[in-house]
Chain A
Amino acid sequence: MITRRDFFKKTVMGIAGAAVPLAALEIVDPKKLFAEVAAETTSVRWAFLVDTHKCVGCGFCVKACKLENEVPYDANVSRTWVERYVLTKKGRLYADNPKAARDGFTTAKIDEGADGLKDISSEGIEKAFFVPKLCNQCENPPCVQVCPVGATYQAADGVVLVDRTWCIGCGYCIMGCPYGVRFFHPVYHTAEKCNFCYHRITKGLKTACVQACPFGARQIGNIKDPNDPVTQTIRTQRVGVLKSEYGTKPQVYYIGLDEEVR
């Protein structure tokens, strides 16, 4: 004969125990864990193309990005930037990105940060070029892998996004990115980075930087569409990516990528 006490105890345990599978097992639903298969069937995968021969370092892309994506213009962070590389005849490399090139490059002196401005004689220059950079929306994004709470993630079309309502601000994703594209937004205080102007490309528009570039140095396209001119360029021309040794499979392709580019 079961006592009232035992009955009550067992009922409570039963109910509490039932709450466990409901809440806990969702995390380990095998069907969902192996859902990468679904990614194969999406029809859009965004890819970016940068032509370093065409970039002149005007910085209009950086300005447009900041204004379009509400990153304060005066803040010393940017979702995208342009780097300048100057190689001298003596074999030395000088490189800089003054204020992320938001105002362009209006001096020939190299900005060395705390070390001041470096004068380089124009006769001594062997080659010099500009390299725009932005988030590579990697196929294997290490920043997403290290987010402890699932605040940053990759959408089905390849763009990596950050949930501002969920980000705890630990900074692990910022440390995890080999390309240095992430930072803390000065106003929202969550992790922030280029998201290929997701609000624009999903409406059929180009990203702000692609539209702003007067020289056509930046292009965006859908790598799954064989008729896309960007896709055709990537497939048929000699293109490179940044830091492929990290295994991230970046989706920003560069024409004219020099060996000195970092």
Chain B
Amino acid sequence: MKNHVFRPLFVVIGIVILILLARMVIVPKDFGVYERGYMYSWHRKGNEEDWKKIKVKYQGKDYCKDCHSDKYDSINKTPHKIIQCENCHGPAIDHPSDPPKLTIDRSRAQCLRCHFPLPYPTSGRAHIRSIDPDKHNPDIECATCHNPHKPMEGLR
């Protein structure tokens, strides 16, 4: 007479086999251990390509200089040359096809990012000229008097 005691064990083994069979279907084929070993590299290899395929949005200054050479050359003669065009105009993406026009951020908040007076002599901030936004023409846009591409022109 066979020992019935092992019956539940067979059920358990059956379930384990089911799980392993399911695994063959559910888990992507390229899932495994890669260059950094099991602890740091247990993953679906194809995901690395997924991340590489993301669309690049910010193109950098050189992308703008050919069509907008006037603005480009102008700003390059001022302290604002260190600022990327896209910092104020947003990412170029596929401009001029998409988007056809870029936004122009004319708000005071945009300029205050650097030009708000912060009393920090030990920081690089101390080297930037600043204005008190509550006293220096508080109701109008900075760009009304200061052309960002030549900020001090016509003012001195």
Contacts and interface: CB of A to CB of B under 8 A. Distances in A.
Chains A and B share a contact (CB less than 8 Å): yes
Interface of A: 16, 19-20, 22-24, 26, 29, 32-36, 38-39, 42, 53-60, 63-64, 67-69, 86, 103-108, 122, 125, 127-130, 140-141, 144-145, 150-156, 161, 163-166, 195, 198-200, 202-203, 205-206, 208, 211-212, 214-217
B116 A214 contact: no
Nearest to A55: B124
B51 to A, nearest CB: 5
The 10 closest A-B CB pairs, nearest first, are: A104-B113, A122-B119, A153-B43, A128-B120, A32-B33, A199-B54, A150-B42, A23-B20, A156-B35, A214-B82
A199 B54 CA distance: 6
Most buried by A among B31, B54, B133: B54
Interface residues on B, range: 35 or more
Given A19-B17, A35-B35, A211-B58, A104 B40 contact: no
Interface of B: 14, 16-17, 20-21, 23-24, 31-44, 47-48, 50-58, 60, 82-84, 86-87, 90-91, 109, 112-114, 116-125, 128, 133
Contact of A200 (B17, B56, B123): B56
A174 B65 CA distance: 42
Contacts of A56: 114, 123-125, 128
A202 B56 CA distance: 11
Contacts of A154: 36, 40-41
